[in-house]
Amino acid sequence: MNQAATFSTIRTEIAGVSVLDLASTFETPTYVYDGSKILERIDELRQFDVIRYAQKACSNLAILDLVRRHGVVVDAVSNGEIYRAQAAGFAANGTPPPVVFCADLFDRKALEQVIALDIHVNVGSADMIEQLGKSGGPRNISLRINPGFGHGHSQKTNTGGEQSKHGIWHEELESCLALAQQHGLTVTGLHMHIGSGSDFEHLAQVCGAMERSARIVGSSLTSISAGGGLPIPYRVGEASLDIGRYFEVWNATRNRLVESFGHPVSLEIEPGRYLSAEAGYLITEIRAIKKMGANTFYLVDAGFNDLARPIMYGAYHPISLTPRDGNLTRPSQPVVVGGPLCESGDIFTQEEGGFVCTRELPVANVGDFLVIECAGAYGFVMASNYNSRPLAAEVLLQDQRARQVRNRQSEADLISHERIPAD
């Protein structure tokens, strides 16, 4: 059994670098990533033949470069992600494909791009098979199958079952194989991703569905992908996934397929959150403290424009305080943590449905810092310019060195693509 997670509500450093120094050097709000945590997570997954990072979780070029240098390949879900992968040094093709384009549709530019660069595609609809087939683009494809069930940490991150738009419905596999054949495409890969932030039981259920589908495809298959979805502990007491056990169930599935096909079948995993979530911290400064009846609010300079997970999913993130005066012995009190946006939902301590809740945090002063933790996945990448707030800076920590890997946006950046018509 894996150890239960612990989080402290006081924090002075991140990966050996002082939070006060980080805040004064890079200002706030700033995302900080601990590179060593990402590498630890990669090492935990080494039993899988291919670790394919779902870059949508955190796609800063420095993070992509880091994972690439440690043997990880990537998934891309848009033209922009293909472009990023290339800018971070991934080749367009090879074995295993360094970049796989995974989607349920091709927008016109993406179709042009996968053809021009010969990028392997993980196809999520019959129309994609048809469009790729007619294009004269790459001839080997993977099929993403919706096995008819799914599970995520929220209904919004469940990607299986009839309510999901993702993947090829499992009962349509045969007709899609026929369509692929008609267009001269060979199905070399099968992929299932049932949701994000799932649990062992649901994830393991996919093996059976994969095996059934793989037997329908037959021996053209050279690779199967377990998708991503691996959960991480966000709350005190939650245990992390038993990766060894997870690998075992998948490996057994793969081995049965190897035996029937008589050739090797590569086993891929496609995590986003698992690699980057725990490495990321959002440092923000408390700029106001006020009472509303019984509630005490800590108001910070980061909002849901910086971290959208609480307002979108009622997601829970550990929060810790970094006192400016270094006094670490403070009593705690229940507080609500909110941001600067002109919208009442701009609360970091909320449950799904928008219900505001309190969190026990140390007594604080204006000017102290809050660190919102486990924010490295679906944090910066889901940020927006709502309320015309510039995007935060990003900093990568490695070997106690802090290097800025994205400049904070300026107000001028905010309007740089806009025009007032001249007439």
Say if residues 325 and 404 touch (Cβ distance below 8 Å).
no
d(CA 269, CA 273): 12
Judged by beta carbon, residue 26 or residue 316, the one nearer ligand LLP is 316
Question: Are 288 and 366 contacting, i.e. CB atoms less than 8 angstroms apart?
Answer: yes
Torsion angle defined by CA atoms of residues 229, 398, 306 and 319, in that order, rounded to the nearest 10 degrees? 80
- Sign (positive or negative) of CA dihedral 411, 413, 414, 416: positive
Alpha-carbon distance of 42 to 271, in angstroms, equals 10
Tokens 């596999």 correspond to: 173
Report, in Å, the least distance between residue 275 CB and ligand LLP: 8
Shorter beta-carbon distance to ligand LLP: residue 39 or 54: 54
Nearest approach in angstroms of CB 246 to ligand LLP is 12
- Nearer to ligand LLP by Cβ, of 193 and 324: the residue is 193
Name residues whose C-beta falls within 8 Å of residue 416's C-beta, 6 or more positions apart in sequence. Answer: none
Give the residue carrying structure tokens 């959960």.
231
How far, CA to CA in Å, does 216 sit from each of 149, 263, 335, 341? 19, 16, 55, 52
Our answer to whether residue 342 is catalytic in this structure is yes
Could you say which of 58, 207, 342, 357 is catalytic? Answer: 342
SS3 159: coil
Which residue, 232 or 335, has its beta carbon nearer to ligand LLP?
A: 232
Comparison of 57 and 217: residue with beta carbon closer to ligand LLP: 57
- Residue of 315, 286, 303, 293 whose CA lies nearest to 374: 315
Q: How far is the CB of 187 from ligand LLP (least distance, A)?
A: 17
- Nearest approach, Cβ of residue 363 and ligand LLP (Å): 31
Phi-psi region of 169 (alpha: psi -120 to 50; beta: other; left: phi over 0): beta
**Residue 62 Cβ, how far from ligand LLP at the closest point, in Å?**
19
Of 336, 322, 331, which is closest to residue 291 (Cα–Cα)?
A: 336
Bridge partners for 335 per DSSP: 359
Q: To the nearest whole angstrom, how small is the minimum distance from the Cβ of residue 195 to ligand LLP? A: 7
Which spans of this chain sit near ligand LLP (rule: CB under 6 A)? 54, 57, 75, 102, 157, 159, 193, 196-197, 227-230, 270-274, 309, 313, 377-378
Residue 151: CA atoms inside 13 Å, Cβ hemisphere, count? 11
Check: CB of residue 79 under 8 Å from CB of residue 66: no
Beta strands 30-34 and 393-398, pairing class = parallel
Q: Which is nearer to ligand LLP, 11 or 309 (CB)?
A: 309
Residue 110 CB, nearest approach to ligand LLP (Å): 15
Q: Which residues are catalytic?
A: 342
